[in-house]
C-alpha cells in the first residue's frame, strides 16, 4: 500500500464522517455499519489505516462520497464538502492547542479503560458527543450543521452528530499523519480518483497491502 492509497482511505474517512452527519441532520438516520466504523476510529489509537478501517464496507459511504466530491457530479455534495473542510480547519486549531488535545486524549484513554458498552450503544455515543461538545465545540468558528429541526433538536441525534464530528477530527489527524494536505485535493484529484477505482476493484483495502 503506497502513500497515496493510505491518504485516500484516510480522506474517505473524513468524507464519511461528513456524509453521515448530513444524513442524520436531514433524515434522522444514517448508514449503520459505516457509522459504527467511524465511531470506532475515535477510540482506536493505532496510526495504521488498516487497523482502523479494515474493509471496504466500513468505508463505503466515504469512498462513494469522496468520488462524488472530486468528480463534482452533484451540487448535493456542497454541504458535505463544507463539513469536511470545516473538520480539516478545526483539526488544525486543535493541533495548536496542546491542553485541549491532552484533554481529549486523556478522555479517550479513560473511555477505553472504563467503557462497558459497544461503541454504537447510546451511552457510548452520548459520551463521545459530550466530549466533542465540551472541547472542540467551544472553538470558533463552530461547525454549524444544517438539517431538519426535528432531528437536530433530538437529544440522541445531536449526540450522534457530535460524535461523528469527533470521528471526522480523528480521520483528519490520520490523513495528515499519512502526509495529506489540502492542496493535494486540487493537484492530485485525478490520481486520487484512480486510486479509489483501484481500491474498489480489489476485494478489500487490505488486499492491496498484502500485495505491496
- Domain boundaries defined on the chain: 3-207
The three-state secondary structure class of 160 is helix
The three-state secondary structure class of 31 is coil
Query: Which residues, in sequence order, are CB contacts of 48 under 8 Å at separation 6+?
Result: none
Distance in angstroms (rounded) separating the CA atoms of residues 205 and 53:
9
pLDDT of residue 212: 37
- What's the distance, Cα to Cα, between the start and end of the chain in Å? 5
pLDDT tens across the length of the chain (212 residues):
688 899 999 999 999 999 999 999 999 999 999 999 999 999 999 888 888 987 888 999 999 999 999 987 666 789 999 999 999 999 999 999 999 999 999 999 999 988 778 999 999 999 999 999 999 999 998 999 999 999 999 999 999 999 999 999 999 999 999 999 888 787 889 999 999 999 888 755 444 443 43
pLDDT of residue 208: 44
Distance in angstroms (rounded) separating the CA atoms of residues 78 and 2:
29
pLDDT of residue 99: 96
| Pick from 169, 148, 19, 184: nearest CA to 86 | 169
Task: Provide CATH code, domain 3-207.
Answer: 1.10.3890.10
Amino acid at each position: 500500500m503506497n502513500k497515496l492509497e493510505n491518504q485516500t482511505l484516510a480522506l474517505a474517512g473524513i468524507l464519511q464522517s461528513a456524509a453521515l452527519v448530513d444524513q442524520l441532520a436531514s433524515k434522522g438516520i444514517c448508514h449503520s455499519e459505516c457509522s459504527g466504523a467511524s465511531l470506532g476510529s475515535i477510540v482506536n489509537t493505532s496510526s495504521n489505516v488498516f487497523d482502523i478501517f479494515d474493509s471496504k464496507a466500513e468505508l463505503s459511504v466515504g469512498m462513494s462520497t469522496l468520488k462524488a466530491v472530486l468528480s463534482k457530479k452533484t451540487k448535493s455534495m456542497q454541504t458535505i464538502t463544507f463539513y469536511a473542510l470545516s473538520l480539516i480547519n478545526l483539526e488544525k486549531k486543535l493541533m495548536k492547542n496542546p491542553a485541549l488535545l491532552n484533554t481529549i486524549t486523556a478522555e479517550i484513554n479513560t473511555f477505553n479503560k472504563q467503557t462497558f458498552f459497544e461503541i454504537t450503544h447510546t451511552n457510548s455515543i452520548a459520551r463521545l458527543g459530550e466530549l466533542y461538545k465540551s472541547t472542540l465545540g467551544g472553538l470558533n468558528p463552530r461547525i454549524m450543521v444544517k438539517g431538519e429541526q426535528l432531528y437536530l433538536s433530538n437529544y440522541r441525534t445531536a449526540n450522534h452528530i457530535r460524535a461523528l464530528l469527533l470521528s471526522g477530527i480523528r480521520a483528519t489527524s490520520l490523513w495528515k499523519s499519512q502526509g495529506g494536505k489540502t492542496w493535494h485535493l486540487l493537484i492530485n484529484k485525478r490520481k486520487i480518483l484512480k486510486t479509489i477505482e483501484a481500491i474498489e476493484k480489489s476485494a478489500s483495502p487490505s488486499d492491496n497491502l498484502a500485495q505491496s
